[in-house]
Each structure stands twice: as structure tokens, then as C-alpha cells.
């Protein structure tokens, strides 16, 4: 007797197999942790759906009592899967419960019982998926500037790398680090430093291609730019515009890298970061200062470079309509 009802030998074997599979899956989840692939999560979810359906079909009254556990499957799906996948699970549960009501113990009002589970599950899925979507958006946005944060950047870079591999296309990344940003905070206060970061983020975001280029704040005074379909020359032209729009006296060091068809996202970031760090060191060295090609005075801090994917621009002080730190 299982769940209060006599079960045939074949039914016992089936039930034992299902339970063992679920226990094995639970043990695998426990020991594997975050190493479980996405498809592994789906297998566990489907297994849970199956064991609930079997139990609800075997126990008298279980079609309405154990069926409540379907809601937990829906909550799990909404937390860990996409809204589309969650909708698929809600549909699968609706179909499974309809089958349980058809072959399981008699229920006074099958339609009402089915609508109660399906309706509750659908509403739960919508609410939980909506809350998760809001949390995911907030969790991928830098609260100070409104740009994408490091987590969002890493995800987008992996996506773009996979797309470039499939389509054999090119893309470039740039690492941007503000020069002497600590001095801005020390001299003008942290409020001015925050305002500068917001101003640069807003200005630069308006210069990138909407729906194509991707600008993120990685943390502190460090930004990153991703340009799909653009080679090194193209991303340098765009960052030149970044420089031209920066407030007077605000400078940054820049390193770029273009995907050459090999390597990982981490390799690409290391190349850009090393190029940026090289320029950062040069900016701190007096001998690295060069006269501006625009004919500015020797005391204007203006320099440019095009070497090994590294490039840098320093804010010039000759644009009359350009804001300065004093205006922040």
C-alpha cells in the first residue's frame, strides 16, 4: 500500500524507480552546487513534476492535496528560469494535473480543482517572474551612473564573443580609467567626483550606437566599452569623441583590444587592461608628455598614442564651451 492505496507490483517498481531517481538527483545537486549546468536544473524540475504527479494519482484525495506541491515547482522555475521556460512549465503542470484528474481518484468537481491549481500557478508564475525581472535589472545596473555594472558587462562580453565565433565577425573592447580621480575627490569633494562620473556616463552613453555598443562602469573610475562589428580604428574614433566631450581638465587612460578570432573573453580583457595600464604609467611619467597635434602650448596636458591597442587622450583646456571641474 502506497499513499493509502493498493498498488500493483508494476506500479511499485515504477514508483521506486522514480523516487530513486529523485534522490540521486537531489544528492547530485547537493554535491555539484553551482557546477550544475542549466539542463541539469531542468532535469531536476521535470523529475519533481513527475513524482508529484505519480503521488497525486496514487493517493485517494491526493489529486487535490499533493497537487498543491505543483506550486512549488512553479516558484522554482520562476526563480531560476526565463519567463518563457516558466510558462512552459505552467503549461506542462496544467496538462499533467489534467491527466492526474483523469486517471486518478475521483474528485467531486474536476474542473474546479484543475482551475484552482492552474489559476494559482499562473498567477504565482507571473508575480514571481515579475519580481525576479526587476531584481535582475537592478542587479545589473550601476546605481550611481545608471550604466551596466560589471556583472552585466561580463555577461554581454560572453554573448558577443559567442556571436562573433558563430558569425566570424569582429568586435573591440576598450578599458577607460580616469586619471587622478582621487585628486578630484580630495580637492572638490566626493559629491563632485560622483557628479563627474554621472556626467561622463550620461554624455558617453549618448554617443554610442543604441542597441549595438555597450558601455559599462566596472567600478570606481573605470569604464568599459564594447563595440560589435568595429575594429580598433573604429573604437579609437569613438573614444576620441569621448575625450572631446569630457570636461576641461578631465583626462583618462585608454587601452583597446580587438578580437582576432582566438582566445577567451578573459584574454581579450587582459590585453585591453594591459594596454590601458601601460598608458596609465606613461601618463604618470613626465617624459611621456607630448605636444598636442592641434598646436596647443607646451603646458597644455595633451597626449595621444596608437601602439599595441593602447590609446589615450587628455582633456584639453582650449574649448571655450566645455565644462570644467569647477562647474560640476
Sign of CA dihedral 261, 267, 180, 186: positive
Q: Would you say residue 16 has pLDDT above 90? A: no
Burial track 161-170 (b if 16+ CB lie within 10 A, e otherwise): beebeeeeeb
Query: What's the full length of the chain, in residues?
Result: 328
With contact defined as beta carbons under 8 Å apart, do 293 and 194 qualify? Answer: no
Q: Are 283 and 303 in contact (CB under 8 A)?
A: yes
Q: Is the dihedral of CA 286, 290, 294, 299 positive or negative?
A: positive
Do residues 181 and 48 both lie within one domain? no
Within a domain: residue 144? no
Cβ pair 170, 164 in contact under 8 A = yes
Q: What is the mean pLDDT of residues 183-201?
A: 90
In a domain, 168, yes or no: yes
pLDDT value of position 307: 37
Cell numbers 474536476: residue: 110
pLDDT digits (tens, 9 = 90+) for 90-141: 999 999 999 988 887 677 788 888 999 999 999 999 999 988 888 777 778 8
Mean pLDDT of the residues in the chain: 79
Query: What H or E segment, with its residue span, contains residue 257?
Result: strand 251-258
| Structural domain includes residue 161 | yes
pLDDT at 63: 61
pLDDT given for residue 262 in this prediction: 84
Same-domain pairing of 80 and 42? yes
Q: What is the per-residue pLDDT for 282?
A: 78
Q: How confident is the model at residue 36 (pLDDT cuts 50, 70, 90)?
A: confident
Which cell numbers hold the place of 263? 582566445
pLDDT for 278 beyond 50: yes
Mean pLDDT score, 202-213? 90
Q: Is the pLDDT of residue 297 over 50?
A: no
pLDDT band for position 13 (50/70/90)? Answer: low
C-alpha cell at 60: 485517494
- Angle between helical axes of 70-80 and 83-103 (0-180°, round to 10): 170
Q: Kindly give, in sequence order, each residue whose CB lies less than 8 Å from that of residue 239, ignoring residues fewer than 6 positions away.
A: 174, 176, 225, 254, 256, 311, 313
HSE at residue 289, side-chain half, CA atoms within 13 A, is 11
Q: Inform me whether the pLDDT recorded for 22 exceeds 60.
A: yes
Indicate whether 246 belongs to any domain: yes
Average pLDDT over residues 19-45: 75
Q: Model confidence over 166-189: pLDDT tens digits? A: 988 999 999 999 988 888 888 888
Question: Do 166 and 288 reside in the same domain of the chain?
Answer: yes
Per-residue model confidence (pLDDT) at position 328:
54
Question: What average pLDDT does the segment 12-18 reach?
Answer: 61
Instruction: Give the domain-ending residue among 119, 139, 159.
Output: 139
Assigned domain for 3 exists? no
Residues 194, 54 share a domain:
no
DSSP state of 286: G
Range of the domain at 200: 150-327
How many other CB atoms are there within 10 angstroms of residue 12's CB atom? 12
Q: Are residues 226 and 276 in the same domain?
A: yes
- Specify if 266 maps to a domain: yes
Taking 80 as the threshold, does the pLDDT of residue 237 lie above it? yes
| Distance in angstroms (rounded) separating the CA atoms of residues 285 and 179 | 13
d(CA 105, CA 58) in angstroms, rounded, equals 8
Mean pLDDT along residues 9-19:
60
Mean pLDDT of 260-286: 85
Q: How confident is the model at residue 234 (pLDDT cuts 50, 70, 90)?
A: very high
Q: How many domains does the chain have?
A: 2
pLDDT at 286: 54
Confidence class for position 281, pLDDT limits 50, 70, 90:
confident
Residues annotated as part of the active site = 221
* Vertex 250 angle, CA 150 and 287, to 5°: 105
C-alpha 103: how far from its chain's center? 44
201 and 119 belong to one structural domain: no
* Same-domain check for residues 175 and 283: yes
Query: Taking 60 as the threshold, does the pLDDT of residue 296 lie above it?
Result: no
Residues 119 and 161 in one domain: no
245 plus 133 within the same structural domain: no
C-alpha distances in Å from residue 8, one per residue of 2, 4, 15, 49: 10, 13, 10, 22
Q: State the SS3 of 144-179.
A: CCCCECHHHHHHHHHHHHHHHHHHCCCEEEEEEEEC
Q: What is the pLDDT of residue 110?
A: 85
Query: Cβ contacts of residue 127 below 8 Å, gap of 6+?
Result: none
pLDDT at 304: 35
Residue 236 lies in a domain: yes
280 or 245, which is more confident: 245
Task: Among 111, 139, 167, identify where a domain stops.
Answer: 139
Sheet holding 310-314, edge to edge: 214-219, 222-228, 171-178, 251-258, 310-314
Q: Are residues 247 and 217 in the same domain?
A: yes
Q: Which residues contact 23 (CB under 8 A, 6 or more apart)?
A: none
Cα angle at 132 between 131 and 138, to 5 degrees?
A: 95
Q: In this model, does residue 5 exceed pLDDT 90? A: no
Looking at residue 290, what is its pLDDT?
39
Among candidate residues 75, 105, 139, the one where a domain is terminated: 139
Strand 171-178 relative to strand 310-314, pairing? unpaired
Amino acid at each position: 500500500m502506497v499513499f493509502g492505496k493498493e498498488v500493483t507490483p508494476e506500479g511499485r517498481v515504477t514508483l521506486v524507480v522514480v523516487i530513486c531517481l529523485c534522490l540521486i538527483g537531489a544528492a547530485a545537486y547537493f554535491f555539484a552546487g553551482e557546477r550544475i549546468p542549466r539542463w541539469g536544473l531542468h532535469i531536476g524540475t521535470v523529475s519533481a513534476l513527475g513524482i508529484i504527479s505519480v503521488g497525486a494519482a496514487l493517493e485517494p484525495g491526493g489529486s487535490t492535496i499533493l497537487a498543491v506541491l505543483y506550486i512549488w515547482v512553479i516558484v522554482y522555475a520562476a526563480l531560476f528560469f526565463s519567463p518563457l521556460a516558466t510558462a512552459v512549465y505552467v503549461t506542462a503542470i496544467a496538462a499533467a494535473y489534467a491527466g492526474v484528474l483523469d486517471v486518478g481518484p475521483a474528485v467531486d468537481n474536476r474542473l474546479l480543482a484543475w482551475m484552482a491549481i492552474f489559476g494559482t500557478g499562473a498567477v504565482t508564475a507571473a508575480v514571481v517572474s515579475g519580481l525576479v525581472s526587476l531584481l535582475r535589472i537592478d542587479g545589473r545596473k550601476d546605481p550611481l551612473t545608471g550604466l551596466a555594472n560589471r556583472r552585466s558587462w561580463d555577461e554581454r562580453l560572453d554573448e558577443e564573443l559567442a556571436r562573433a565565433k558563430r558569425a566570424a565577425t569582429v568586435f573591440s573592447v576598450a578599458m577607460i580609467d580616469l586619471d587622478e580621480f582621487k585628486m578630484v575627490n580630495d580637492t572638490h569633494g566626493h559629491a563632485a567626483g560622483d557628479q563627474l562620473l554621472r556626467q561622463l556616463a550620461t554624455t558617453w552613453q549618448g554617443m554610442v550606437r543604441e542597441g549595438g555598443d555597450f558601455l559599462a562602469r566596472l567600478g570606481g573610475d573605470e569604464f568599459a566599452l564594447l563595440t560589435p562589428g568595429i575594429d580598433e580604428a573604429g573604437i579609437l574614433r569613438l573614444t576620441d569623441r569621448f575625450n572631446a566631450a569630457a570636461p576641461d581638465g578631465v583626462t583618462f587612460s585608454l587601452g583597446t583590444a580587438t578580437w582576432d578570432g582566438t582566445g577567451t573573453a578573459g584574454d581579450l580583457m587582459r590585453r585591453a587592461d594591459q594596454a590601458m595600464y601601460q598608458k596609465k604609467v606613461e601618463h604618470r611619467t613626465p617624459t611621456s608628455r607630448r605636444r598636442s597635434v592641434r598646436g596647443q602650448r607646451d603646458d597644455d596636458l595633451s597626449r595621444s598614442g596608437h601602439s599595441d591597442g593602447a590609446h589615450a587622450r587628455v582633456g584639453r583646456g582650449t574649448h571655450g564651451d566645455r565644462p570644467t571641474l569647477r562647474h560640476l
